[in-house]
């Protein structure tokens, strides 16, 4: 059996689809299943059972089922949440318990870290283990992810194989439930459909033009292909960046969305909200040298291609993956 935490979420539900496509149907799905909107991500999926997030840790410690692998993707991901207690509970301590059980039972695991650990990028985006303890994330979410990375690197007891993936900006189907935290493409599509234009955050730095804020955008279908590959063929343990290695601007992304919708671009710039302005990342770009040493050699979707697939095949018809 394979466990997926965060299974009803964005990346988790896409991973369930990818595993089903490879005839992995003996899945144990873990999440808070109280949100009907998020649960739509699992409609039509094949799995053995669901276990509520609050019941899972106890079950995992006591189970005698044959668990082959765990993808730990569940987390509190709201970057506007300010409660350290919430992040300590759901991101740090919950993850520690999963790690300990995997170590005790010799179960291999992949867990989700985040590019948010890099903060403003003043130390670069190198996924060397030596850099982890020096990083200064800009918000409690990023700090919780980095705190777990730091803890992992101090552990003598480890799963037989493990990878912590620092996800950069993932976009794609099954993020309907994410609200403010959904990708810019999702918000662009909805604004373009409803108003014929898109609002982007104005730059509050004199050295960066409006719309030229950049992120390393990676399509969720590429992410789950990587997750499946690492489960099947991965050999290198450690914390590894997962991005394309090529930063693109929000203007590029928005113009691509307009093209996929089929109307001329019309971008309006607005002030970045005060509550996130000081923690806003103006640039992220994964260093992917370590990732490609895993042997993965399937090309990622170029940004324009990923946007077009997402918009035409999912957002316009309102479909899930």
Scan for tokens 């719309």, then name that residue: 211
* Residue of 141, 161, 171, 219 marked active site: 141
Which residue is listed with tokens 């403003």? 120
Q: What angle (nearest 5°) sits at the alpha carbon of residue 5, between those of residues 284 and 15?
A: 65
Instruction: State the catalytic residue, choosing from 100, 105, 178, 290.
Output: 178
In total, the chain counts a number of residues equal to: 321
Taking the C-alpha atoms of residue 110 and residue 270, their distance in angstroms, rounded to an integer, is 38
Residue 71 and residue 4 in contact, taking contact as beta carbons nearer than 8 Å: yes
Indicate the SS3 state at residue 213: coil
| 118 given a catalytic annotation | no
Q: Is the CB of residue 192 less than 8 Å from the CB of residue 257?
A: yes
Under 8 Å between Cβ of 131 and 115: no
Q: Is position 282 annotated as part of the catalytic site?
A: no
Q: Are 169 and 307 in contact (CB under 8 A)?
A: no
- Residue among 189, 168, 181 nearest 310 (CA): 189
* Closest to 169 (Cα-Cα) out of 152, 150, 194, 186: 186
Q: How far is CA 79 from CA 108, 155, 219, in A?
A: 29, 27, 20
Task: Please work out, in degrees rounded to the nearest 5, the angle formed at the alpha carbon of residue 229 by the alpha carbons of 228 and 234.
Answer: 120
Check residue 180 and report its DSSP letter.
G
Q: Which residues are catalytic?
A: 141, 178
């Amino acid at each position: 059996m394979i466990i997926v935490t965060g299974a009803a979420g964005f990346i988790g539900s896409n991973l369930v689809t990818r595993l089903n496509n490879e005839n992995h149907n003996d899945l144990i799905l873990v999440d808070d299943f109280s949100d009907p909107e998020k649960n739509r991500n699992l409609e039509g999926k094949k799995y053995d059972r669901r276990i509520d997030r609050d019941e899972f840790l106890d079950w995992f410690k006591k189970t005698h089922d044959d668990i082959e692998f765990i993808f730990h993707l569940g987390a509190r991901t709201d970057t506007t949440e300010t409660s350290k207690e919430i992040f300590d509970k759901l991101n740090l301590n919950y993850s520690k318990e999963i790690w300990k059980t995997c170590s005790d039972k010799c179960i291999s695991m992949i867990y989700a870290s985040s590019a948010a650990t890099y903060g403003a990028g003043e130390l670069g985006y190198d996924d060397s283990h030596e850099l982890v303890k020096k990083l200064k994330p800009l918000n409690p979410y990023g700090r919780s992810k980095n705190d777990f990375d730091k803890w992992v690197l101090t552990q003598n007891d480890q799963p037989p194989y493990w990878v912590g993936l620092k996800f950069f900006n993932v976009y794609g189907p099954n993020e309907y439930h994410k609200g403010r935290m959904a990708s810019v493409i999702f918000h662009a599509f909805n604004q373009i459909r409803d108003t014929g234009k898109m609002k982007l955050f104005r730059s509050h730095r004199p050295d960066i033009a409006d719309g030229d804020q950049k992120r390393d955008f990676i399509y969720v279908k590429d992410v789950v292909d990587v997750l499946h590959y690492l489960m099947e063929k991965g050999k290198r343990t450690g914390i590894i960046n997962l991005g394309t290695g090529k930063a693109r601007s929000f203007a590029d992304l928005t113009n691509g969305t307009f093209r996929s919708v089929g109307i001329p671009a019309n971008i309006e710039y607005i002030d970045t909200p005060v509550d996130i302005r000081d923690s806003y990342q103006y640039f992220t770009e994964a260093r992917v040298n370590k990732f490609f040493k895993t042997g993965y050699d399937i090309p990622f979707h170029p940004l324009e291609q990923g946007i077009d697939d997402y918009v035409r095949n999912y957002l316009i018809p309102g479909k899930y993956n």
